Structure 1
Amino acid sequence: MIMRTFWHHHRELYRYQLTAHEVRDALREQLDPEYSLEQCQNDLVALKEWGCLTTIYDSSRATSIASFLSPALLYQATPEAMAIETFLAEQTRANASSGALRQGDLSRLWDMLIRIDEMLQQDLAVLNTSQCQEIADEWQRAFEIWNTMAREAAQYLANMISASQSSKPDLEAYQHYKSAVVAYVHGFAQALTLYGPRIREQLAQWRALGKLEPFVSLLANYLNPPAPTLDQVRTVDELRLDAQKQVDALAGWFAPGKNADSFRRNALAEVDKVVRRAASLASASRPNANYAQQLQSLAHTFLQARDGETAQQLFSVAFAHPLPIHLSEGLAGTPNDLYMPDQAIAWQEEPASTLYLRPVSRTNRGEQAREDPIIDNRLLTQNLIEQYEERLQEQLRRFNRLFAQERLDIGTLKKVTAQERTILLDIIDSCLGQPSHQCRALDDSIVVLLNPDEAEYTLLKASDGVLLLPRYCLERRMMPALVAVSARDSKEREDEDVDR
């Protein structure tokens, strides 16, 4: 606690030297109100012997000759002790952090690499000291952004895995968590898909053009500030090794099949688990349709009712009906019909209604249930067929609008409707699932996917959002008979437009 107090004053209050009284007051607030000055001084002496603290005399506060001759001691933490406390604080913060998917860091990292590439277009041998320092500083900022982004992303994925293994969460809260995490992870995965290949190609271009080795040598010269003592001076080989490790770490994270790709796969797999678990929780929370137990408890409550009025109220509340149609008026009617205190011999009179009770036996089970009348479904079936044909014709019209030309380049589409996007995705999925990369369309024409291994991505804009997908090129091939039919249909449509 004493070293953490020094670290707190050092990092947050910018105070590097403390007296024993200040340390004692801080520990009284944080740890023990009865912590004495003598105990504090003994602990400070022990820390000094261990090499965690150093002492200097403070004669600036002297008010007399005696206080000047015996000045108060000021305690200061050593750099090694501060480094240990900083490491422990960072580990504590990392363990307590929930992680994050910093989608904006990818764009900032790409912008910094672009600026570094513009600087590397010049000859590094003719650059002055300020320009070299600017390149090294820009790389350090880019490396820190990547390091923080990778660490936070790994922590967030670990928290997703632990959250998926927790038991009995609140369904409503888990549904909100599911919708938020799906959008959150998919957004980061799309950004990673967009910027990952760019960063990978940029680093590969530096290596191919021979700029990577001079760049590493430049970073090694400006990696650390000048050391105050000779013991802390690092050799050129050590600095170059550290610079090379930084470049290799960033390049390895974005390499094909490495951390970036594996994170994207694992994140999408965890999202699928979250969605599946939310569905299972929703199905498990549905009410049970078996009401036998509720009816049994209601029957016992009726048997324990004190009078008819209580039973009637219970029945009305349970079935939400004031007068049951399957019970007689004398059993579930108003209380006046059941009990009339002004008529002492009312029980001797004939009942107003006769109740016939059927015998209970295996042969007499009451009235047999009548069969339901046969429903004529011909009109309903005809309506369904007409709706299906209308939807089919609408899909065919949208398909013909998309393939007005024989070849369709997705990158040239400015904006489509959500239904047209669905048709395009179905055609692309069907083509990718066939070895010949072709499928049969609604009008029996053949659609061929010309570039199934396309690496360039494009944005397909629709009325309900934007979809990132490879820039596929599709070609529609029609049979001769279909060409004639299509020409005839187009001519009929033109004639109809003229008539209108």
Structure 2
Amino acid sequence: MNEKNKDALRTESLLRTIPELSYLNATNTPRYRLIMRYFYEQHLRLHYWLKPEEVYAGVCGFELLAQYSLEQCQQDLNALVQWQNLVPRHDGGRSTTIEEYLRKKYRYQMTPYAVEIERMVAGLEKIRGYGGSLEPTLLDNIAANLRRILQQQGEFAAGEGLALWKSTYASFITLTENASDYIASLQSAKAEELMATEAFLIYKNQLTEYLRNFVQNLQRSAFRIEGLLPSLQPAMIERFHQHIVRDLAALPLLEERPTEEEERERLLREWQALVRWFLGEGGENSDIQYLEQASKDTIGKIVRCALRIQEKRLSGVTRRRELAYLGRWFASLDHVDDAHRLAAYTFGLYRTRHFQGHDDKGTESADVTMWQAPPNGYALRSRSRQRRRDGGTDAIANHSRQKAAAREVYLAERQAERELIETFVAQGCVPVGELREVTPFLRNQLLFWISRCMHYRDKTFRTPEGVQITLRGGGGRTRLQCADGALEMPDYTLVFVDERQAKGTT
């Protein structure tokens, strides 16, 4: 069958009506549902062909219809046959006369559509919520099966490949459906109402431990699966799918079976869905990461709800007696240091405030802590919503002193830099590894020159004074000893050449 015919059949199946569902919304739906439920129960007991008298007795056995006759049952069976829920078969074995044979008594059997519909309806009747569960053993089963595929390089004996893939894909489907249903149940309105009551405190510890264990097992097993999937090469998966298709072809089926190409496409879609769920697609996060984050968010939500319930419970409790006892305890202390310790144990740390800004420690050494550095001053503004009106214009601030001081500092640094360059020009080559203990200013200047050289392809740049600085070496490592610590860096050599002196010499 070519692709065009396949697409035509697929479109036809999507557009066709489903008359098998008519009995669920017809006029006599209660009677039809009882008949179909009795057929379904007998189908599960491997009793497929039923007589009208057996169906009538089974419907009356439910004791839900007050007035129901065999003639009405026969009419209902005919309607179900017309809707393609039942298949009739002429029952001539019970006839003793020609007249009885000509009456054409029938037996009835459910169609495959009707079996699936009734199975779905029976499942819907059992739903009391989202349900679901978190089963980390399913992840372990998937990881073990993938490891087996990798070990055997996709080669399996007859029957083994199909059984392995059924186990893997069934675990994957069960994991995704149960996990999504369970997380959804914790986000439902009923769960929200339960989390707001004190009865939730009974389940809090057990539920939190359940989710925490699942997250831990999820992280462990997910890493294994994420490491195994890239190792399974496309050729290996192709061989594995060939064995599965071979096993499917060996199954004796009386119905029309899909073609080999259709089976391969289905297996490829299932495999891609599994890979996409664990590894993601197009640079996006995988579904298993979303599941992990949803589990963590649920744990945080449970803890917050429990804290709110406990705070609400304690909000109406008077602590007058405890505070009076604490006050007498404070009054009995002789030293203020003891009072400070008691306050620290009782009230803990006060609420801290964080300020954002430049933290100037006066040095770049990582060994100097914030306790050893001098304090920094910051001007704080009022956060009150009531703003006072300005009383008038303000005078222009005079910053000439600050500008003059900054100019002197800048000129001093430039003078020190020129003197340093002149010294190095006279020396010619400056190996970093041969320098003795240097000042922070010299270290910063060396690092500045090295970074400027690294920006150019020939590792050379020129200063405004006309001095050419070239960077060489860097293959080994050296330790530059500074006044405020030691710096490990590549063993560079800086070459200083004054172009003006070189031209004059020439």
Q: TM-score, normalised by structure 2?
A: 0.53
Match of 1:375 in 2: 332
Match of 2:203 in 1: 177
- Cα RMSD of the aligned pairs, angstroms, is 4.1
* CA distances 1:274-306 after superposition (whole Å, capped 9, x unpaired): 111121122223362579xxxxxxxxxxxxxxx
Letter in 2 for 1:46: A
User: Does structure 2 conserve the Cα–Cα contact (< 8 Å) formed by 1:171 and 1:282?
Assistant: no
Counterparts of 1:183-202 in structure 2, within 5 Å, are: 183-202=209-228
Alpha-carbon distance, 1:220 to partner = 3.3
1:262 partnered with 2:290: yes
**Larger relative contact order (CA 8 Å, sep ≥ 6):** 2
Distance 1:372 1:152 in 2: 57
Distance 2:268 2:340 in 1: 71
Match of 1:120, SS state, is: coil
User: More displaced, 54-63 or 269-278?
Assistant: 54-63
Alpha-carbon distance, 1:30 to partner = 5.8
Distance 2:41 2:290 in 1: 39
Match of 1:152, SS state, is: helix
Q: Which one of 71, 96, 102 corresponds to residue 135 of structure 2?
A: 102
Match of 1:281 in 2: 309
Alpha-carbon distance, 1:92 to partner = 5.4
Counterparts of 1:282-431 in structure 2, within 5 Å, are: 282-286=310-314, 288-289=316-317, 374-378=331-335, 381=338
Q: Which one of 69, 80, 84 corresponds to residue 51 of structure 1?
A: 84
Match of 1:234 in 2: 258
Alpha-carbon distance, 1:74 to partner = 1.4
Match of 1:206 in 2: 232
Match of 1:55, SS state, is: strand
Match of 2:268 in 1: 244
Alpha-carbon distance, 1:71 to partner = 6.9
Match of 2:134, SS state, is: coil
User: Does structure 1 conserve the Cα–Cα contact (< 8 Å) formed by 2:226 and 2:278?
Assistant: yes
1:162 partnered with 2:195: no
For the structure 1 residues 275 and 374, does the alpha-carbon distance in structure 2 shift closer, same or farther, using more than 3 Å as the test?
A: closer
Alpha-carbon distance, 1:217 to partner = 3.1
Distance 2:160 2:167 in 1: 11
User: Does structure 1 conserve the Cα–Cα contact (< 8 Å) formed by 2:186 and 2:298?
Assistant: yes
Alpha-carbon distance, 1:107 to partner = 1.9
- Structure 1 gap segments, 5+ residues each: 292-370, 389-437, 445-500
State percent identity of aligned pairs: 25
Distance 1:212 1:36 in 2: 60
Distance 1:168 1:286 in 2: 19
Distance 2:178 2:147 in 1: 24
Alpha-carbon distance, 1:181 to partner = 1.5
* CA distances 1:413-449 after superposition (whole Å, capped 9, x unpaired): xxxxxxxxxxxxxxxxxxxxxxxxx9999xx9xxxxx
User: More displaced, 74-83 or 257-266?
Assistant: 74-83
1:40 partnered with 2:73: yes
Letter in 2 for 1:255: L
Distance 2:261 2:215 in 1: 38
Alpha-carbon distance, 1:240 to partner = 0.8
- Structure 2 gap segments, 5+ residues each: 1-32, 320-327, 346-365, 373-506
Distance 1:94 1:216 in 2: 36
Distance 2:305 2:71 in 1: 59
Post-superposition, which runs of at least 4 consecutive aligned residues in structure 1 deviate over 6 A?
63-66, 438-441
User: Does structure 1 conserve the Cα–Cα contact (< 8 Å) formed by 2:161 and 2:247?
Assistant: no
Q: TM-score, normalised by structure 1?
A: 0.53
Match of 1:56, SS state, is: strand
Number of residue-to-residue matches in the alignment: 308
For the structure 1 residues 106 and 55, does the alpha-carbon distance in structure 2 shift closer, same or farther, using more than 3 Å as the test?
A: same
Distance 1:112 1:80 in 2: 33
* CA distances 1:217-241 after superposition (whole Å, capped 9, x unpaired): 3333434745424xx3322221111
Q: Which one of 48, 51, 58 corresponds to residue 26 of structure 1?
A: 58
Match of 1:350 in 2: none
Match of 2:159 in 1: 133
Distance 1:76 1:439 in 2: 86
For the structure 1 residues 167 and 80, does the alpha-carbon distance in structure 2 shift closer, same or farther, using more than 3 Å as the test?
A: closer
Letter in 2 for 1:194: R
Match of 1:233, SS state, is: coil
* CA distances 1:381-418 after superposition (whole Å, capped 9, x unpaired): 29969x99xxxxxxxxxxxxxxxxxxxxxxxxxxxxxx
Counterparts of 1:458-473 in structure 2, within 5 Å, are: none
Alpha-carbon distance, 1:173 to partner = 2.7
Alpha-carbon distance, 1:104 to partner = 1.9
Match of 1:75, SS state, is: strand
Distance 1:77 1:285 in 2: 59
Match of 2:89, SS state, is: strand
User: Does structure 1 conserve the Cα–Cα contact (< 8 Å) formed by 2:153 and 2:236?
Assistant: yes
For the structure 1 residues 96 and 283, does the alpha-carbon distance in structure 2 shift closer, same or farther, using more than 3 Å as the test?
A: closer
For the structure 1 residues 40 and 440, does the alpha-carbon distance in structure 2 shift closer, same or farther, using more than 3 Å as the test?
A: farther
Letter in 1 for 2:296: L
Distance 1:373 1:259 in 2: 57
User: Does structure 2 conserve the Cα–Cα contact (< 8 Å) formed by 1:52 and 1:80?
Assistant: yes
Alpha-carbon distance, 1:165 to partner = 5.7
Alpha-carbon distance, 1:373 to partner = 9.3
Alpha-carbon distance, 1:199 to partner = 1.3
